[in-house]
Amino acid sequence: MDYFLKPTDRLEKFLLQNKNRVEGETKTQIKEMIALLNGLGMNFTYENVAEMFPEKIIGRMELARFLTEKGMVRTEEEAFDTYIGDSGEKRAYVERSVHCASMKKVIAEILEADGVPVLAHVFNYSFPPHERNYERNYLIKTFVQEGGLAIEAFYSPYMEALQQYLYLFCARKRGLGVSAGSDFHGFFEHDSLECRYPAAIACLLGQMAREKRGIVWDDERGGE
């Protein structure tokens, strides 16, 4: 994730290139899922889904809402649990072929735009069970080496003990800032943080961004 970016032509070009690539890969994934759903007795097309969401990129959230609105499933949760989720029954799940920019490239672009690179939900990445701790620590170490400045420690799906571990061990041990997130993706997702987030920590990311831009913070005047 990134915070406090300064918009630039270079950044816009980089983001558009990656956006177009991800959109294409997502469209292929959704079309393949629809083919599987039709093979299970449903009858609709990608274009039908797109007509319902003319202003949106069609992803799994939109597909789940379409299935619910058309009465093919009872709820969006059922759509994910039974058909299109990456866990559950996975009757029509297709893994997306993702070709994203490297961590090194993304961090470099964020730093170039005077932003703060943040590593999101550290405990959500899929690693082999017997290598999980090593791979997670290696991920954080690589993130820091490439110029990363903070990790998402306060994250609503995480229990308080895990949040404290991320804050006290992962972040403070490595001199990183921390951020908070609700993981909101729309429709039936939670839209609040649902956990305590120290105000002093919330100010740290902004302070990092100001320091990168050479702005001196003045407590009495609020900055200059």
Over the stretch 16-60, which tens digit does the pLDDT of each residue have? 999 899 899 999 999 999 999 999 999 999 999 999 999 888 999
Tell me, what's the pLDDT at 84? 97
pLDDT of residue 178: 79
Question: Averaged over 187-203, what is the pLDDT?
Answer: 56
pLDDT of residue 30: 98
**What is 81-144 written as a DSSP string?**
IIIISSSS--TT-------PPPHHHHHHHHHHTT-EEEE--GGGS---GGGHHHHHHHHHHHHH
Q: What order of strands is seen across the sheet that includes strand 2-3?
A: 2-3, 116-119, 150-155, 177-181
**Residue 133: per-residue pLDDT:** 82
- Higher pLDDT residue, 221 or 116? 116
pLDDT tier, 122 (very low <50, low <70, confident <90, very high otherwise): confident
Cα 220 to its chain centre, rounded Å, is: 36
pLDDT over 50 at 114, yes or no:
yes
**C-alpha–C-alpha distance, residues 58 and 101, integer Å:** 21
Helices (H) and strands (E) in the chain, counts: 9, 4
H/E run at residue 152: strand 150-155
Q: What is the tens place of the pLDDT at every residue in 126-160?
A: 778 788 788 888 998 999 999 999 888 776 655 66
Tokens 């997306």, located at residue? 96
Spell out the domains of the chain, with CATH numbers in brackets. Answer: 23-84 (1.10.150), 101-212 (3.20.20.140)
Which one is predicted more confidently, 125 or 120?
Answer: 120
- Helix H or strand E encompassing 179: strand 177-181
Angle, CA 172 vertex, CA 170 and CA 177 arms, to 5°: 90
Q: How confident is the model at residue 99 (pLDDT cuts 50, 70, 90)?
A: confident
